[in-house]
Structure 1
Amino acid sequence: MQTTAPLSAAVVEELRELAAVLAEILVVRQRSSDALERTRRRLPMQIAAEIIWNLLPPLTFATGDAAVSGILEPCYDVGGDAFDYTLNGDVLHVAVFDAVGHGIAASALTALAIAAYRNARRCGLDLVDTYRSVDKWVHAQHPDDYVTAVLGELDVRTGVYRRISAGHPEELLLRDARLVKALAGPTALPLGLGYLGDPLPDVAEEMLEPGDALLVYTDGVVEARTVTGDFFGVERLTEFVTRALADKMPAPETMRRMIREVLTYQQHEQLPDDATAVLVEWRPSLRYGAALD
């Protein structure tokens, strides 16, 4: 039966619970059968992309204090881009990787970087030692290659964001639907090249305010270009994201439309380079209100 009457709060809550159960069933089922994955795919997936997509966490994750939403394009033929995140206690760990090269070689390099990053994180290493560990493994196994990355930690209780930018584009800090600033440029050499510089990379720190958002992206997003060679650029990226935030667009939809905007600008369905972006929103719950006053 169809109806146009407003839903009661009780019905909305029941639908949310049903959606949560259904989502859990789908996630569990996906690990034990290829049926869902085959249904989702419109084209055959290249091996390089298969490697990367099997490493990624869910595209969207949210708690009462923070939300993370990522996007990766092109879907069926990615190579060296990837992202990762996890929540350990009050610390939200977020990382974005961009390996040099394309195809299986790049995806294998990224797979090593992610595995080394997760291993360091799960061993309880701090940011500096995590960087050093991943850097060591990349250099040992791929001495002629490197990976740019952002390794970040957001304390969801205090809003303190600590990060190492390993030769990566600057994250964008957004507040009240406007750009506050681009965070300071690289604080360390790309992963795999650390032996060329200071063995102890700098850790930059930023104090967020409730409601702030951080956009971490790879250069494939801003280097999309028209047939005349005009880049999409950071300014267009910033304009789009601030407009989406002003419209209170959900983070997953913001990311989906952002990639569509990039593809439309380029007037081609295939990007010349992988394009990855992660939007992190800090929205502390009331249980932290006293600490934030």
Structure 2
Amino acid sequence: MVHIGKVNLGQRLAHPRQLWQSSHALVAIPLVLIVAIILADLRSPESVHLGPLLVVAPAITASFGGYRLTGLIGALAVGAQVLLAVLQGGVDTTNHISQIIALTILSVFAVIVCLVRDRRTAELAQVRSVSEAAQRALLRPLPDRLGPLHIASSYLAAEKEACIGGDLYAVARTGDRTRVIVGDVRGKGLAAIGEAATLLGSFQEAAHHHPTLPALAEALDRSVCRYLTGFPQSDEEAQEHFITALLLEIPDHSPVSQVVHCGHPPPFLIRHDQVTPVTSPCPAPPLGMSGLGPETYDTHTFSFHAGDTLLLYTDGVVEARDSSKAFYPLQERVAEWTQNSPRTLVQCVEKDLLAHADGALSDDAAILAIQRTPVPHTRLHATPLVHSADLDDPTG
């Protein structure tokens, strides 16, 4: 996480330098144009006046420079127009005076446009900064290690300038087990963040108070239902709002893990170069559809041994289409990367997915890889609490 922060900080610091360097190089264009127009006008017949073309210089500068640079180039253009007037019969002629006044007005107008644009750019940058902070606070980064688990995740938002949308994931450490949720709100982008925030907040609290996954699923369903009742009755889509989710419980000292499917795509279990979907014979409806009780949520058990990897994902991954409208073959592609670490696996899927969709996803996509490592033997009276040393120990 520290490495990612350093990279982002370096990119932010390098961005202004790159902009300055590019503007510094582009400023040669209006300067060359001013010199070229002066020389062309001096060599042209007296009946041909090329001085009005000097307005091109501040106009071009406004496309890449700030108001100060635009004002400077505009002043140079006006000065060049005055020079032409002096060399071609004096500044007091009506033609030259009108050209100087017109060029001055247009240069001032270009500076005003730059001022308005820069102000709006600054306001937009501030709004984006606040939006990114809020979204990152909602979807907090997952730890690289949690108990015996290695974790890696990725989020690809469908909407431009958004960090997250309607997809979600979170982990909770309760005693000697880890609980995981992956969900997908109906819809995409910023409009789905409210429902995602509700479910994430409920999970972070309820995961520590319910002994079983069915009870946890029922509590989350109640929270989503309460949230959805706040929609106006006139909203025709209110009854169509729901969240598909997958709940996972991985104990530290047992290879038997549990999963509850709530209308969500099954995860893939990677073991010995084999990729197998972890399906449930009786999947439950998505959260928020009917407030069903705990007896509706059936728990499916499966073995999750040391060295195994689970790949969890949302609909945006498997429903991504290429130019021929073919869906992304996730299971087939993952079979090529079974020996990779969780971080490398997620990066491979992310890169390949974007290439498959030509860089433009139609829906938000979340990817989560979890690998189990061996748990060291502990004394019987040892407490199951997680200490900071456990998180830092690379041996698990």
Shorter-chain TM-score bucket reads 0.7 to 0.9
CA distance in 1, matches of 2:192, 2:131: 8
The SS at the match of 1:111 is helix
Does the C-alpha gap of structure 1 residues 40 and 194 become closer, same or farther in structure 2, counting only changes over 3 Å? farther
Corresponding residue number in structure 2 for 1:123: 209
Does the C-alpha gap of structure 1 residues 181 and 109 become closer, same or farther in structure 2, counting only changes over 3 Å? closer
Matched, 1:159 2:255: yes
The SS at the match of 2:377 is helix
TM-score (norm 1): 0.76
TM-score (norm 2): 0.57
CA distance in 2, matches of 1:135, 1:37: 42
Kindly indicate which of the two structures has a greater share of residues assigned to strand. Answer: 1
Displacement after TM superposition at 1:181 (Å): 3.7
Displacement after TM superposition at 1:37 (Å): 10
Mean alpha-carbon deviation: is it higher for 217-226 or for 203-212?
203-212
Does the C-alpha gap of structure 1 residues 99 and 52 become closer, same or farther in structure 2, counting only changes over 3 Å? farther
Mean alpha-carbon deviation: is it higher for 109-118 or for 203-212?
203-212
Amino acid at match of 1:171: P
Mean alpha-carbon deviation: is it higher for 79-88 or for 216-225?
79-88
Displacement after TM superposition at 1:51 (Å): 4.2
Displacement after TM superposition at 1:109 (Å): 0.4
How many percent of aligned residue pairs carry the same amino acid? 25
Corresponding residue number in structure 1 for 2:56: none
CA distance in 2, matches of 1:150, 1:178: 22
Corresponding residue number in structure 1 for 2:137: 54
Matched, 1:73 2:73: no
Does the C-alpha gap of structure 1 residues 61 and 190 become closer, same or farther in structure 2, counting only changes over 3 Å? same
Does the C-alpha gap of structure 1 residues 73 and 223 become closer, same or farther in structure 2, counting only changes over 3 Å? same
Matched, 1:170 2:261: no
How many residue pairs align between the two structures? 254
Corresponding residue number in structure 2 for 1:291: none
The SS at the match of 1:136 is helix
**Consecutive unaligned residues in structure 1, runs of 5 or more:** 1-21, 30-34, 289-293
Matched, 1:218 2:191: no
Displacement after TM superposition at 1:203 (Å): 1.1
Displacement after TM superposition at 1:80 (Å): 0.4
Amino acid at match of 1:117: F
Matches within 5 A, 1:83-162: 83-143=169-229, 144=238, 145-162=241-258
Q: Deviations over 1:1-24 (max 9, x none)?
A: xxxxxxxxxxxxxxxxxxxxx939
Matched, 1:39 2:12: yes
**Does the CA contact (< 8 Å) of 2:174 and 2:208 recur in 1?**
no
The SS at the match of 1:202 is coil
Does the C-alpha gap of structure 1 residues 159 and 113 become closer, same or farther in structure 2, counting only changes over 3 Å? same
Corresponding residue number in structure 2 for 1:272: 362
Find the partner of 2:336 among 243, 257, 264. 243
Does the C-alpha gap of structure 1 residues 98 and 186 become closer, same or farther in structure 2, counting only changes over 3 Å? farther
Corresponding residue number in structure 2 for 1:179: 275
Question: Relative contact order (alpha carbons < 8 A, sep ≥ 6): 1 or 2 greater?
Answer: 1
Displacement after TM superposition at 1:239 (Å): 2.9
Displacement after TM superposition at 1:285 (Å): 3.0
Does the C-alpha gap of structure 1 residues 242 and 52 become closer, same or farther in structure 2, counting only changes over 3 Å? farther
The SS at the match of 2:291 is helix
Displacement after TM superposition at 1:125 (Å): 4.5
Q: Please tell me whether Structure 1 or Structure 2 has the larger radius of gyration of its CA atoms.
A: 2
Q: Deviations over 1:96-130 (max 9, x none)?
A: 01001123330110000111111111334431221
